Amino acid sequence: MKLHEYQSKQIFARFGIPIPAGDVAEMPTEARRIAERIGGRVVVKSQVLVGGRGKAGGILLADNPDQTEKVATRILGMNIKGLKVRKVLVDQAVDIAQEIYLGLVIDRSAQRVVMIASAAGGMEIEEVARATPEKIVRAVIDPFLGLQIFQARGLAFGIGLDKTLWSGFVSIARSLYQAFVACDASLAEINPLALTDKGQLLAVDAKIVLDDNALFRHPDLAVLRDVDEEDVYERQAREHRLSYVRLDGDIGCMVNGAGLAMATMDLIKLYGGAPANFLDIGGGAQADRVAVALRIILSDQNVKAVLINIFGGITRCDEVARGILAAFAEVKADVPMVVRLVGTNEVEGRRILAEAKMITATSLAEAAQKAVVAASSK
Ligand code: GDP
Ligand code: MN
């Protein structure tokens, strides 16, 4: 779950990271009042859960409260990468001498949290990593020791920071790590960490992504979820407890069990296709959940074929087959459906589906091949 910049900044501030004075507004008049309170120049920033807001025109400077109201009127309601701006953050503007990147991510292969720093801040770190990897320095953090001072100093040295700024940088780095761990985050990022013309380090942007699997431990953070910003189908999936991740291929997958879903995706790739999603409908496979899952899969315009791979254990295959038919009658789609049902009553299940003109398969390899053919001939 992604947090907004203003929410992330509030968390960072609690852990002692310096942030600009500012507040969030939903109305231009509110934005004006915040600017009056701050005094001087402000920056009005759209609060949407995508990066690159600056380039999209969602970040504008304003010299006075009048102008702030005008600028906020312009930004509120704006559409940025498909998301409607409903809130703006009004922050004290600062004069930036240098933009630094500082972030924490989980490196799964190292099985550690890794802190990343770069003197080339402001832009997307993925871009920096691609074009100029030598500009990125990393520190791998031992979970029992936490981020050590020497490591943070090493990063300060690595990005060529002036020595007078090291202690400030070390304290921000340590606070960032504490915030990351305390929230069970999967990402915490300050980009840019601005070095102001007055020689102060300030988190001008903030981003936290929380680990959904740990949200149950953080009811105070769970309520920060902004449902207006969520993909409507990912939200439906979450509400029906379906694990759904949209991908960029063209074969929709409906599978019960995460491991089976992964294997299904692998086989689609093996036979030259590309999965449009990961979807685990979990145990039971009741008709209503099958219908929801099918609707979610078909909402993706890229889907040219659907592969349903269900293992009938507790739920019998004939029941699953009837569930699929009921769902299909309700959703109505003209994409080919390849179904592989195995387990209890599988013969009966396949018979029901074949009568309904669905493509059936017995082995997973056969199902994957048929789905790839169906998708490419569409
Ligand atoms: P993003 O584009 O969504 O990552 O939004 P950011 O908050 O990182 O802002 C993008 C850019 O706007 C920053 O890299 C800065 O160059 C600029 N910016 C943001 N806040 C200020 C500010 O207070 N003063 C100045 N001069 N520039 C700012
Ligand atoms: Mn940024």
Confidence band of 83 (pLDDT split at 50, 70, 90)? confident
Side chain identity at 238, as an amino acid letter? R
Q: Which residues contact 162 (CB under 8 A, 6 or more apart)?
A: none
* pLDDT tens readout for residues 194-240: 999 999 999 999 999 999 999 999 999 999 998 887 777 888 888 88
Q: What pLDDT score does 306 carry?
A: 95
Half-sphere exposure (Cβ direction) of 184: Cα atoms closer than 13 Å: 13
Q: Which ligand is in closest contact with the Cα of 9?
A: 1
Q: For ligand 1, what atom is nearest to the CA of residue 92?
A: 23
pLDDT band at 37 (very low <50, low <70, confident <90, very high): very high
Per-residue confidence band for 354, with pLDDT thresholds at 50, 70 and 90: confident
Output the pLDDT for position 40: 93
In a mutational test of the pocket of ligand 1, which residue from 59, 85, 88, 126 has the highest number of ligand atoms less than 8 Å from its CB?
A: 59
Mutate to test the pocket of ligand 1, among 96, 198, 207 (most ligand atoms within 8 A of CB): 96
pLDDT confidence of residue 284: 65
- Rounded to whole angstroms, the maximal C-alpha distance in the chain is 77
Q: What is the pTM of this model?
A: 0.81
Q: What are the φ and ψ backbone dihedral angles of 44, each rounded to 5 degrees?
A: -105, 120
pLDDT bucket at 285, cuts 50 / 70 / 90: low
The residue contributing the CA closest to ligand 1 atom 23 is: 93
Residues 292 and 94: their CA atoms lie apart, in Å, by 49
The region of weakest confidence among 214-223, 253-262, 281-290, 344-353 is 281-290
Q: What is the pLDDT of residues 39-55, one digit of tens each?
A: 999 999 999 998 889 88
- 85-94, 240-249, 285-294, 346-355: the lowest-pLDDT one: 285-294
CA 299 to ligand 1 centroid distance, Å: 35
CA 54 to centroid of ligand 1, rounded, Å: 7
CA of 20 to the centre of ligand 1 (A): 12
* β pairing state of 243-246 and 277-280: antiparallel
Look at 263 and 324; give whichever has higher pLDDT.
Answer: 263
Whole-number mean pLDDT of the chain? 93
Q: Give ligand 1 pocket residues (Cβ under 6 A).
A: 43, 45, 51-54, 59, 93-96, 99, 122, 191-192, 204-205
* Residue 316 burial (CB count, 10 A): 18
Peptide bond preceding 28: is omega within 30 degrees of 0, i.e. cis?
no
pLDDT of residue 22 exceeding 90: yes
- Is 234 catalytic? The answer is no
**Can 189 be counted among the known catalytic residues?**
yes
Q: Which of 5, 69, 99, 189 is catalytic?
A: 189
CA–CA separation, 29 and 48 (whole Å):
20
Beta bridge partners of 136: 118
pLDDT, average across residues 241-256: 92
- CA-to-CA distance for 138 and 153, rounded, in angstroms? 12
Tens of pLDDT, residues 160-180:
999 999 999 999 999 999 999
End-to-end Cα spacing for the chain: 35
Query: Are the CB atoms for 19 and 9 separated by under 8 Å?
Result: yes
- Of the candidates 164, 132, 137, 135, the residue with the CA atom closest to the CA atom of residue 152: 137
